[in-house]
Amino acid sequence: METLEETELCYPELFNASCLRPKRSPSQAALIYILLSFISLITITLNLLVIISISYFKQLHTPTNLLLLSLAVSDFFVGILMSFQILMTNDCWFLSDLMCVAFSVLMYSTLSASVGTIVLISIDRYVAICDPLLYSSKVTVRRVTVCICLCWGCSIFYITLLMYNNMTQRDRYISCIGECVIVINHIAGAADIILTFFAPVTVIIFLYMRVFVVAVSQARAMRSHISDKHSVNVFAKKSKLKAARTLGVIIVAFLICLCPYFISSLQSNGSFFIATSLPLENWLFSLNSCLNPVIYSFCYPWYRKSIKLIVTLKIFESDSCQANVL
C-alpha cells in the first residue's frame, strides 16, 4: 500500500475531498508519456493512411477492404482518444463528470465496434474460402456497408445502455474529486464479458478453424492440379488464401491483445474503466489499434503503394483515384 509520502493530491486546495495520485520522478513520468504519446501518434498516422487509401483509390472499393476500413476507423479513434487521455489526465481527471462518461462511452463504443468488425472479417473470410462460388452474390458492397453500420450502431447503443446508471447517478460512483471511474454491477459485467469477449472469440476461433482446414485442402489441391488452363483460377485461389492468412495474423494479434484486458476484467470487482490510470492491460488492448496497419504494411502490397502515392502527393493529380495499386 502506498504511504502518504509516496502520493500527492490531485487538488491540493481541496484536502479532504481530493483524490490521491502516486508521485513519479520527472524522468519516469517523461518516459511513460513519451512512449504512450509515440504509440498514439503512430496509431493515428498509420490508420489515417489506411482510411485515405481505401476511401480514395477505387480499386480498393471491395467488401473485404470496406471491413478493413471500418477497423481502421475504429483504430483511428482509439488513437485519438489515447492522445486525449494522455494530455488531459495525469493520474487525475481534471474535466467534468459528464466528460468522464462521454469519454468512456466513446472509448468503449469504439473498442466494441472493433471487436464486431473483427467478427465480420472472420465471416467474410469464411464465406470466401468455404463457399467461393457464392461469395460474390452473398457478400456485396451494399450488404457489407449495412453490416458495418449495424455494428457501429449496436456498439454505441450497447455501451450507452451499459453505462446508463453512470450517466444518471454520477454522485453514487465518484468517491473523491479528480476521479473518473465507470462502474457496472456484477450481472451486467458478466453479460458484458460474454457479449464482448467469449461470444466473439468463440465465433472467430470456430470460423478460422474451418477456414484453416479448407485452406490447407485447397493448397494441396492447387499443388497437385496446377496447369496452364487453370492458371487464372489458381491465381484467384492463391489470392484468397493469402488474404485469409493475412487476416488470420490480424485476428491472432487481436486475441493476444484482447485476452489480458478481459482476464483483468474477470478479476475486478465491478470497476469497468478508470480513465485516470494507465494499467498495462488497457494499453495492450489499445496497442492492437497500432499493430493492425503495421501488419497491413508487411502483408498488403496495395497499402505500401498507396502510402507512396499519398506521401509523394500524387493523389492530387487528375484521375489519381484510378491508379493501379493492386
Per-residue model confidence as pLDDT tens for the chain (326 residues): 445 445 677 777 666 777 777 676 777 777 777 877 888 888 899 999 999 999 999 888 989 899 999 999 998 998 888 877 776 656 677 777 788 888 888 888 998 898 899 899 888 888 888 888 888 888 899 999 999 999 999 999 998 888 887 777 766 666 777 777 777 777 777 788 888 888 888 888 888 888 777 777 766 666 665 554 455 455 455 555 665 666 677 777 777 777 776 666 666 544 555 555 555 666 677 777 888 888 877 777 888 888 888 988 888 888 888 888 87
| Residues 6+ positions from 267 with CB-CB distance below 8 Å | none
Q: Residue 4's pLDDT is what?
A: 45
The residues spanned by each domain of the chain are: 36-322
Taking CA atoms, 30 is separated from 21, 27, 133, 141, 275, in Å, by 16, 5, 56, 46, 19
- Which set of grid coordinates corresponds to residue 35? 512512449
- Which set of grid coordinates corresponds to residue 142? 451494399
Cβ-in-10-Å burial (0-12, 13-18, 19+) of 175 comes to: exposed
Distance of CA 173 to the CA centre of its chain: 28
First to last CA, the chain: 57
Distance of CA 176 to the CA centre of its chain: 31
Q: Residue 253's pLDDT is what?
A: 78
3-state helix, strand, coil in the chain (%, to 5): 75, 5, 15
Cell 494499453, residue located: 283
b (16+ CB within 10 A) / e for 33-62: eeebeebbeebbebbbbbbbbbbbbeebee
Which phi-psi region, left, alpha or beta, contains residue 7 (left: φ > 0; alpha: ψ -120 to 50)?
beta
Domain 36-322 top-level CATH class:
mainly alpha
Q: Residue 162's pLDDT is what?
A: 85
pTM, full prediction: 0.81
Q: Which of 128, 133, 126, 119 is nearest to 74 (CA)?
A: 119
Beta bridge mates, 224: none
Contact 157, 244 (CB under 8 A): no
